[in-house]
């Protein structure tokens, strides 16, 4: 085996946002090798994220293909995933593929404040760069994205939510 | 996976031949159930009875599972595509929470899991979801009643997520590491659900006469089910005393503040409706349900029950 297990695991991509590796998404938490056995720790973005099983299968297959026969994937629930864990490279990849990357997540502790106004985010359109955008919906095609529309070029786009 | 791969040497072949690779990677979700708590440390915290922890987890899980199913019934029926997607997302978040909590219940006390035929591959979380009768469910009745119009689901999610968010905020400090972790994730999700419902509540209240009429009617209809969300069951007392759970009564003041805020901003009066009674003191938490739950479960469980040896 020429590549370390981590080097193999870090190239596995997210099934729903394939421009991102699991490492760039911040979902890949840890890879350990002991006596030829590999243990990979991943964390879900959202509790119901249906991509978890696919990520697990992809990790196992890729590592097996690289010669690691004994692979276990462990789920780490804490600390809970934050969009802040998406790397700079991941943010650039999202933007390049027309998806607006998340801003900083709110890390205030204590009771969550009720917000009855549309979430204000300072974004720009990933297609034309204009700052005139409007929120269509806080929920998108995957659990982690909101829907936006650019009022300059009129194209819709997705935004990875701050969480 | 219930189908075996066709034999490539079979002269007749199959239209699916080209789809089948040399391994199982073409099955997007794998060929087996996955344990949502795979590899998570499910050691019991000291000082709490496993049965009490398991029952508490089932309560929290059933609230989410049953409402998830109801909200998912909106899929393809919402007023527009954005709301369809939003409701489906909310249902998915709740289903995710339910899976983790049911798996946690089964790990804490395997005796809560219904018995299945020997050799059945159905994992504990699915046995709990699909092989319990209505009387075994411990959800609040707000989760189970039939859907109404869009205002109805907005009011239901507002009441539900306001209480659940307050509960999970405190549950982040649970001495049970799994519950604390599930709560920490759930808080982030529920904050979106509550804001979503709150904004629609305000929008419908301040919209047209018709939207306001429907909103007020829906709130009035659901209000008798609201007190049950804040009632504290003996099991909740027990796990709260052990530092593992949260008593709903302890979050009622902050829940009221949030709801009053939404009502005041929307210009909607708090309904004057009495709580839906239980039977001899028993309510949803004790397995006493409205008949809507039985009908819902019949649909939700029918396929799994027809194939107790099935692997999906």
**Which residues span the domain enclosing B285?**
50-305
Contacts of B185 in chain A (CB under 8 A): 44, 46-47, 77, 80-81
pTM: 0.87
Nearest to B300 by CA among B28, B35, B71: B71
Closest Cβ opposite residue A77 in set B30, B89, B181: B181
**Which residues span the domain enclosing A125?**
118-163
Q: Of A75, A93, A108, which marks where a domain is finished?
A: A75
In-domain check, residue B6: no
Between CA B105 and CA B237, with CA B38 as vertex, the angle to 5 degrees is 20
Q: For residues B246 and B255, what is the distance between their CA atoms, to the nearest angstrom?
A: 14
Tell me whether residue B119 is exposed, middle or buried, using C-beta atoms within 10 angstroms of its C-beta: 0 to 12, 13 to 18, 19 or more: exposed
In-domain check, residue A80: no
Total number of domains constituting chain A: 2
CATH number of B178's domain: 1.20.1260.10
In-domain check, residue B37: no
In-domain check, residue A53: yes
pLDDT the model gives residue B208? 97
Q: Of A75, A95, A128, which marks where a domain is finished?
A: A75
In-domain check, residue B12: no
In-domain check, residue A103: no
Q: Does B93 sit within 8 Å of A46, measured CB to CB?
A: yes
pLDDT the model gives residue B124? 93
What pLDDT, in 10s, does the model give residues A107-128?
Answer: 777 778 888 887 788 899 999 9
Contacts of B93 in chain A (CB under 8 A): 46-48, 143
**Residues whose CB is less than 8 angstroms from the CB of residue B303 and which lie 6 or more positions away in sequence, other chains included:** none
Contacts of A77 in chain B (CB under 8 A): 37, 40, 100, 178, 181-182, 184-185
Strands A37-42, A70-75: pairing kind: parallel
- Name the phi and psi angles at B123, rounded to 5: -75, 160
Query: Positive or negative, the Cα torsion across B204, B205, B209, B213?
Result: positive
What mean pLDDT, rounded, does chain A reach?
A: 90
Q: Does A73 sit within 8 Å of B92, measured CB to CB?
A: no
Total number of domains constituting chain B: 1
In-domain check, residue B312: no
- Six-digit token string for A15: 């099934």
pLDDT the model gives residue B34? 62
pLDDT the model gives residue B137? 98
Residues in A lying within 8 Å of B, measured between beta carbons: 15, 39, 41, 44, 46-50, 52-54, 56-58, 61, 72-81, 110-112, 114-119, 136-141, 143, 147, 161, 163
* Average pLDDT of the segment spanning A5-30: 94
pLDDT tops 90 at residue A36? no
Nearest to A15 by CA among A57, A61, A54: A54
CATH number of A67's domain: 3.30.300.130
Give strand pairing partners of A13.
A21
Shortest CA distance from A74: residue in chain B:
B39
Confidence band for A2, pLDDT divided at 50, 70 and 90? low
Contact between B285 and B214 (Cβ < 8 Å): no
Q: For residues B34 and B29, what is the distance between their CA atoms, to the nearest angstrom?
A: 9
Q: Of A75, A109, A132, which marks where a domain is finished?
A: A75
Closest Cβ opposite residue B93 in set A39, A47, A52: A47
pLDDT tops 90 at residue A83? yes
* Average pLDDT of the segment spanning A64-89: 92
Closest Cβ opposite residue B82 in set A74, A116, A147: A147
Per DSSP, the residues of A48-95 read T-TTHHHHHHHHHHHHHHTT--EEEEEE--SSPP-GGGS-HHHHHHHH
Most distant pair of Cα atoms in chain A: their distance: 57
Rounded to a whole number of angstroms, the distance from the CA of A91 to the nearest CA of chain B is 21
pLDDT the model gives residue A116? 86
pLDDT the model gives residue B304? 94
Alpha helices, DSSP H, located in chain B: 50-72, 81-108, 124-130, 150-171, 177-205, 209-222, 226-230, 234-241, 252-266, 291-306
In-domain check, residue A26: yes
Q: Does B258 sit within 8 Å of A48, measured CB to CB?
A: no
Rounded to a whole number of angstroms, the distance from the CA of B195 to the nearest CA of chain A is 6
In-domain check, residue A50: yes
pLDDT the model gives residue B14? 52
Contacts of A163 in chain B (CB under 8 A): 188
- Kindly state the percentage of chain A with pLDDT values over 90: 64
In-domain check, residue A34: yes
pLDDT the model gives residue B26? 42
ipTM above 0.85, yes or no: no
H helix or E strand, kind and range, residue B265: helix B252-266
Q: Quick one: A71 and A124 in the same domain? A: no
In the predicted model, residues of chain B with pLDDT beneath 50 are 1-11, 19-33
């Amino acid at each position: 085996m020429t590549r370390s297990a981590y080097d193999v695991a870090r190239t596995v991509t997210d099934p729903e946002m394939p421009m991102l590796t699991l490492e760039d998404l911040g979902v890949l938490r840890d890879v350990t090798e002991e006596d030829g056995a590999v243990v990979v720790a991943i964390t879900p973005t959202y509790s119901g994220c249906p991509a978890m099983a696919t990520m697990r299968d992809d990790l196992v297959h890729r590592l097996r293909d690289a010669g690691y026969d004994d692979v276990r994937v462990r789920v780490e629930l804490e600390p809970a995933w934050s969009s802040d864990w998406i790397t700079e490279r991941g943010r650039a990849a999202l933007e390049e593929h027309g998806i607006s990357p998340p801003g900083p997540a709110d890390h205030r502790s204590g009771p969550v404040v009720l917000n009855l106004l549309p979430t204000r985010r300072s974004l720009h359109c990933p297609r034309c760069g204009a700052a005139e955008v409007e929120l269509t919906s806080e929920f998108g095609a995957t659990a982690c994205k909101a829907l936006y529309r650019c009022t300059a070029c009129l194209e819709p786009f997705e935004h990875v939510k701050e969480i | 996976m219930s189908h075996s791969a066709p034999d490539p040497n079979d002269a007749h072949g199959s239209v699916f031949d080209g789809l089948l690779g040399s391994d199982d990677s073409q099955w997007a979700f794998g060929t087996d159930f996955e344990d949502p708590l795979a590899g998570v440390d499910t050691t019991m915290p000291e000082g709490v009875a496993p049965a009490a922890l398991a029952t508490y987890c089932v309560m929290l899980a059933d609230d989410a599972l049953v409402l998830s199913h109801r909200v998912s019934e909106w899929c393809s029926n919402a007023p527009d595509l954005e709301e369809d997607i939003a409701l489906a997302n909310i249902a998915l978040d709740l289903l995710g929470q339910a899976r983790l909590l049911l798996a946690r219940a089964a790990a804490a006390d395997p005796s809560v899991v219904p018995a299945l035929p020997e050799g059945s591959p159905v994992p504990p979380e699915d046995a709990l979801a699909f092989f319990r009768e209505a009387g075994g469910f411990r959800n609040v009745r707000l989760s189970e009643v039939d859907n109404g119009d869009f205002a109805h689901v907005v009011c239901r999610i507002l009441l539900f997520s306001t209480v659940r968010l307050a509960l999970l905020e405190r549950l982040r400090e649970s001495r049970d590491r799994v519950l604390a972790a599930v709560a920490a994730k759930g808080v982030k999700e529920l904050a979106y659900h509550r804001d979503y419902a709150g904004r629609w509540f305000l929008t419908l209240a301040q919209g047209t006469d018709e939207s306001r009429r429907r909103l007020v009617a829906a709130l009035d209809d659901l209000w008798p089910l609201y007190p049950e969300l804040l009632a504290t069951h003996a099991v909740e007392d027990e796990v709260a005393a052990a530092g593992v759970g949260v008593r709903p009564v302890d979050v009622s003041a902050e829940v009221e503040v949030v709801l009053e805020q939404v009502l005041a901003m929307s210009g909607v009066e708090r309904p004057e409706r009495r709580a839906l009674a239980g039977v001899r003191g028993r309510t949803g938490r004790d397995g006493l349900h409205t008949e809507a739950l039985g009908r819902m479960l019949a649909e939700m469980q029918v396929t799994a029950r027809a194939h107790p040896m099935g692997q999906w």
